[in-house]
């Protein structure tokens, strides 16, 4: 038996900090998770795409999940701040195994991206997700991101999947508002609809969605919590103000392939070392200048030593 976590509000797609030699920076990871919890974040996603899961080994995936779960438990937030581990693969057997491992480590749910490159059709997608839900041992959040996978999880396919008691939500990054509205309208009670893009958080919550799995909350967790809280209580004027003030940040985080921009921003903020694993590379200088400009506009850059605040 599994308990369905509450999936709502601002949920951070955590970056995975690394040392200059490419090894995991475990101390910084724990510090970043603590920073998220201090900000009142509503959930955490370790080893998603933002966490560079494609270039982590299975053992490293599990270590990042374990450290995240342990940090949440130390704060007595288990069950309150769900850990939704990235466990997707384009091999169904692997996705099941990764999900089972995350369950053993204490994750609350699994974020399962639709299979990429091999591009299964809708019948095949349905079979893939049902197998993970049946055998993985965790509640499953479907991750629909056609721009990365080459295929879309159609609304009618998702609604059939939502009939399974362990398929509990969707991270929707299709950029297809008509599809998202159809899902919001037709979903069963308790099925979470989460934006997969920070700039779509306000529109999706405005039509009845539940929150966001966020990149920007790596930089500004309290901002994304405030945006989602305002939208959830119907204070759309406040939500719009927050949204438009931070729209350039949402955009610059995808000035090139994520997570290069968000890691560059966090390095500028003094939160981590700007290290990634190839084929990802640190941001080039021209794009880095744009990141710095946005951070400066939002007063997110640290004050230089010896300068009055």
Q: Is 244 a catalytic residue?
A: no
Alpha carbons 295 and 108: distance in angstroms, whole number: 33
The helix (H) or strand (E) run that includes residue 86 is strand 84-86
The helix (H) or strand (E) run that includes residue 9 is strand 9-13
Token pair 């997700």: residue: 129
Q: Is 116 a catalytic residue?
A: no
What sign for the dihedral angle of Cα 301, 231, 16, 53? Answer: negative
Cis peptide leading into residue 142 (ω within 30°): no
Q: Which two tokens stand for residue 11?
A: 């949920």
Burial label for 309, CB within 10 Å (0-12, 13-18, 19+), is exposed
Polymer length of the chain: 309
Catalytic residue among 116, 117, 129, 171: 171
Burial 236-275 (b: 16+ CB within 10 A, else e): eeebeebbeebebbbebbbbeebbbbbbbbbbbeebbebb
What sign for the dihedral angle of Cα 303, 39, 218, 32? Answer: positive
Q: What angle do CA 173, 300, 53 make, to 5 degrees?
A: 40
Cα distances (angstroms) measured from residue 92 to each of 20, 27, 305: 33, 33, 51
Catalytic residue among 117, 143, 244, 263: 143
The residues carrying an active-site annotation are 143, 171
């Amino acid at each position: 038996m599994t308990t369905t976590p509450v999936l709502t509000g601002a949920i951070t797609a955590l970056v995975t900090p690394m040392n200059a030699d490419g090894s995991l920076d475990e101390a910084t990871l724990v510090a970043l998770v603590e920073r998220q919890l201090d900000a009142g974040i509503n959930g955490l996603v370790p080893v998603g795409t933002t966490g560079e899961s494609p270039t982590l080994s299975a053992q490293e995936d599990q270590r990042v999940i374990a450290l995240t779960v342990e940090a949440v438990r130390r704060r007595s937030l288990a069950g309150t701040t769900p850990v939704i581990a990235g466990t997707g693969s384009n091999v169904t057997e692997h996705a099941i195994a990764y999900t089972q491992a995350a369950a053993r480590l204490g994750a609350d749910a699994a974020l399962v991206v639709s299979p990429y490159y091999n591009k299964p059709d809708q019948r095949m997608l349905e079979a893939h997700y049902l197998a993970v839900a049946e055998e993985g041992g965790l509640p499953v959040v479907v991750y629909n991101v056609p721009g990365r996978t080459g295929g879309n999880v159609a609304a009618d396919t998702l609604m059939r999947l939502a009939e399974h008691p362990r398929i509990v939500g969707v991270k929707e990054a299709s950029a297809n508002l008509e599809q998202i509205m159809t899902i919001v309208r037709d979903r069963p009670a308790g099925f979470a609809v989460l934006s997969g893009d920070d700039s779509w958080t306000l529109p999706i919550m405005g039509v009845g969605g539940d929150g966001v799995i966020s990149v920007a909350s790596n930089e500004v967790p309290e901002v994304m919590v405030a945006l989602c809280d305002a939208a959830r209580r119907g204070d759309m004027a406040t939500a719009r103000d927050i949204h438009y003030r931070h729209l350039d940040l949402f955009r610059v985080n995808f000035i090139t392939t994520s997570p290069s921009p968000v890691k560059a921003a966090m390095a500028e903020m003094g939160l981590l070392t700007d290290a990634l694993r190839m084929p990802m590379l640190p941001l080039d200088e021209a794009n880095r200048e744009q990141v710095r400009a946005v951070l400066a506009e939002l007063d997110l850059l640290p004050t230089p030593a010896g300068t009055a605040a």
